[in-house]
A and B are shown apart, each in its own frame.
Chain A
Amino acid sequence: MNYHFDFGVLLNYAPMLAHGVLITTELTVIGGGLGCVLAVLCAWARTGGPAWLRRPIGAYVEVIRNTPFIIQLFFLFFGLPSTGLKLPAIQAAVLAMVINLGAYGTEIVRAGIEATPRGQFEAGASLGMSGPEVFRHVVLLPALARIWPALSAQIVIVMLGSAVCSQIDVQELTYAAGFIQSRSFRAFEAYFGVTVIYLALALLLRLALRVGGRYLFPGQNLR
């Protein structure tokens, strides 16, 4: 092997990599946060919501879970403009991540809600609470605490999946790698370096979610 590695070339592009990390983080925080909200709403609608909502949400979950993220992204970014809705790349990317996480999250949160003992619902009702009130004040928090590890894992998967957003010219980490590669012809160094950054981000995100879980669900028995 006559190849001489030159990882120093990455240092020349440090600002670009930092910007990439920033955008990837932004996508993850906004997409992850809104995705979780969508997941909770859909899970509520599927378990306790009106009957006419259950079928469409079931269809949404199945369609998203059985098609690749990249096609969902392309459909939103390239396909929707022909219906008159033109989104900037970064908004399309966030929307795709929210829709994607929303579908996987719905099933995860639903499992948490369904694991709630019947007595909890009955206890809430006997206090005179309405269905949504029981959900909001009695069921939701323990259910979320129960499935938090699974939801965290899904958020990490969505973060790693955001690498694809470079394909619609969102200037996140993978985009930076492609740019460095095209300028310096150091393809291996560029992609290897960025892969290491992704690994660090994934570990940090996992840690943040574990700490966040303790803060969000105080007193709940978190694993």
Chain B
Amino acid sequence: MISFTLWDIFRNLLLATRWTILLSAGAFVGGGLVGLAVLLVRVLPYRWAVRAARLYIELFQGTPLLMQLFLAFFAPALFGFNVPAWIAAWSALTLWAGAFLAEIWRGCVEAIPAGQWEAASSLGLSFIEQMRYVILPQALRIAVAPTVGFLVQVIKGTALTSIIGFIELSAAGTEITNAIFEPFTVYGCVALIYFALCFPISRGSRWLERRLNVAHLTH
């Protein structure tokens, strides 16, 4: 049995936290782009486009993230590609986050009263112009707090990537546990690090919600 001090445990976990942060950031940015694309498809005036976007969101919100990770890991092999774990992890998390962000942002766009659309179109603005100058500036204000709040879900979601072999904070926790047999201490430390990452973001999200003072707009 190797002897590890508490600091050794913490130091190794913190080193692995880099990958948690990097993957979270990558998936959040990727998910944001996908979410934006789905949102735009959804407001198109075609019924099939709305349906396709709805189906996409339904599929990714109605199945476990873990299954999506497994499929992203195994599906490319069917085409003869062997993808490294980080690509599978990033692409699954991106698609998953995209579905949730699209749904969050749709709520924000729909919270804008119909009169705003009508006023904009009565000024002769095109659809794109209505979006750009009237709807989005207002919707963005409402969207900031829940979007920041969703970042917490993404960070927690990255913990599952350890199962398909991506070495981040959770996987490091399991490795250290296997080496020194102190699961109570190690998983306690892992939880503490996740908490240190997520809690300030949760707090920030609530602070933004109050500061932008939009609670009364959303319901």
The yes or no verdict on A and B being binding partners is yes
In contact, A71 and B71 (Cβ under 8 angstroms): no
The smallest C-beta distance from B21 to any residue of chain A, in angstroms, reads 14
Does B124 lie at the interface of the complex (its beta carbon under 8 Å from any beta carbon of A)? no
> For the complex, what is the distance from the CA of A63 to the CA of B158, rounded to whole Å?
17
> For the complex, what is the distance from the CA of A68 to the CA of B197, rounded to whole Å?
11
Known A-B contacts: A65-B202, A68-B156, A195-B63. Give 6 more (CB < 8 A).
A75-B184, A82-B184, A163-B67, A164-B64, A164-B160, A192-B71
Does B165 lie at the interface of the complex (its beta carbon under 8 Å from any beta carbon of A)? no
Among B77-126, those with CB < 8 Å from A are: 77-80
> For the complex, what is the distance from the CA of A204 to the CA of B59, rounded to whole Å?
14
Assess A191 versus B74: contact at CB under 8 Å? Given A67-B156, A160-B65, A202-B63.
yes
Does A49 lie at the interface of the complex (its beta carbon under 8 Å from any beta carbon of B)? no
Q: Would you give the 0/1 interface string for A1-16, flagging 1 where the beta carbon is closer than 8 Å to chain B?
A: 1110000000000000
In contact, A78 and B187 (Cβ under 8 angstroms): yes
In contact, A164 and B66 (Cβ under 8 angstroms): yes
Q: Would you give the 0/1 interface string for B165-195, flagging 1 where the beta carbon is closer than 8 Å to chain A?
A: 0000010011001000011100110110011
The smallest C-beta distance from B67 to any residue of chain A, in angstroms, reads 4
Assess A188 versus B74: contact at CB under 8 Å? Given A67-B195, A74-B183, A79-B184.
yes
Pick from B70, B156, B190, B195: contact of A177, CB below 8 A. B70
Does A198 lie at the interface of the complex (its beta carbon under 8 Å from any beta carbon of B)? yes
Pairs across A and B, CB under 8 Å, 24 listed:
A1-B79, A62-B199, A63-B191, A65-B202, A66-B152, A66-B199, A67-B156, A68-B156, A75-B184, A75-B188, A75-B191, A78-B184, A79-B183, A82-B182, A160-B62, A164-B66, A164-B160, A177-B67, A187-B74, A188-B71, A188-B78, A192-B71, A198-B67, A199-B62
Measured CB to CB, the residues of A under 8 A from B are: 1-3, 62-63, 65-72, 74-75, 78-83, 156, 160-161, 163-164, 167, 174, 177, 187-188, 191-192, 194-195, 198-199, 202-203
In contact, B64 and A79 (Cβ under 8 angstroms): no
CB-CB under 8 A from B199, the residues of chain A are: 62, 66
Does B44 lie at the interface of the complex (its beta carbon under 8 Å from any beta carbon of A)? no
Pick from B67, B162, B170: contact of A191, CB below 8 A. B67
In contact, A67 and B198 (Cβ under 8 angstroms): yes
CB-CB under 8 A from B37, the residues of chain A are: none
> For the complex, what is the distance from the CA of A81 to the CA of B70, rounded to whole Å?
30
The smallest C-beta distance from A81 to any residue of chain B, in angstroms, reads 8
CB-CB under 8 A from B191, the residues of chain A are: 63, 67, 71-72, 75
Does B163 lie at the interface of the complex (its beta carbon under 8 Å from any beta carbon of A)? yes
> For the complex, what is the distance from the CA of A75 to the CA of B191, rounded to whole Å?
9
Measured CB to CB, the residues of B under 8 A from A are: 59, 62-68, 70-71, 74-75, 77-80, 152, 156-157, 159-160, 162-163, 170, 173-174, 177, 182-184, 187-188, 190-191, 194-195, 198-199, 202
Pick from A69, A82, A191: contact of B183, CB below 8 A. A82
The smallest C-beta distance from B17 to any residue of chain A, in angstroms, reads 13
Would you list the 6 A-B pairs with minimal beta carbon distance, nearest first? A68-B159, A78-B183, A66-B198, A163-B64, A79-B184, A68-B156
> For the complex, what is the distance from the CA of A202 to the CA of B202, rounded to whole Å?
27
> For the complex, what is the distance from the CA of A143 to the CA of B59, rounded to whole Å?
31
